[in-house]
Chains A and B, each alone.
Chain A
């Protein structure tokens, strides 16, 4: 089955700096790669996703890149703000109906002002 590795586990940056979180996946059949932000005690919130037919996607300060050959994808947050502080999870899912997302272990991002 799919296995997703995520690094780093913790990341501390100064406000205004960029943050990068990297993930690798094992199943070449995976074709959907979302990123979630989770605040304490709440459900994960989708912040951006990318499909395997696209190499990069951007939404304001957030971007995701995908390298299918290397089986890795990354989240880039620019101009970080204190409210970006949260736990971020990457996930992957094969292109099969009724298949669940498999999550990385998460990255705790702390943005200090």
Chain B
């Protein structure tokens, strides 16, 4: 199956700083990638759809100025959490679907202290 990688796998940052998470499709091209957030014991909540060469589409309630998404190439999408706060601590997972099946990255555990 298709492979999606994510980096870093975990990160700890101080409140007020910014953190960048990378999502790469390793063996296919992805014009669209998806970013999800998962709080402990909760489901995966879609944050935004990342579109190569154009602006991302954000879900209702997700601040686009706080969660910056850049999809600069067909294999890379980045999510930058700006001015992070403890409530942003979560598990962030990206995914892409070259066909029907949606492939997930391994996730990034963000802890904001």
Contact = CB atoms under 8 A, between A and B. Distances in A.
- Say whether A and B bind each other: yes
Interface of A: 32, 34, 41-44, 46, 49, 51, 89, 93, 97-98, 100-106
Contacts of B91: 41
Interface size class of B (residues with CB under 8 A): 20 to 34
A112 B36 CA distance: 31
Given A49-B101, A100-B95, A100-B102, 9 more contacts: A41-B91, A42-B106, A42-B107, A44-B104, A46-B101, A100-B34, A102-B46, A103-B44, A103-B45
Given A89-B43, A104-B43, A106-B43, A98 B102 contact: no
A100 B44 CA distance: 11
A101 B43 contact: no
Contacts of B32: 97-98
Contacts of B102: 34, 46, 93, 100-101
Closest A-B pairs by Cβ, 9 of them = A98-B32, A43-B104, A100-B34, A105-B43, A103-B44, A103-B43, A106-B43, A100-B46, A43-B106
A100 B43 contact: no
B44 A98 contact: no
Contacts of B43: 89, 103-106
Contacts of B100: 32, 49, 51
B7 interface: no
A105 B105 contact: no
Nearest to A31: B100
A106 B43 CA distance: 6
Interface in B33-50: 34, 42-46, 49
Interface string B87-108: 0000101010000111011110
B85 interface: no
A89 B101 contact: no
Contacts of B49: 98, 100
Interface in B61-76: none
B77 interface: no
A66 B43 CA distance: 22
Contact of A43 (B31, B34, B45, B93): B93
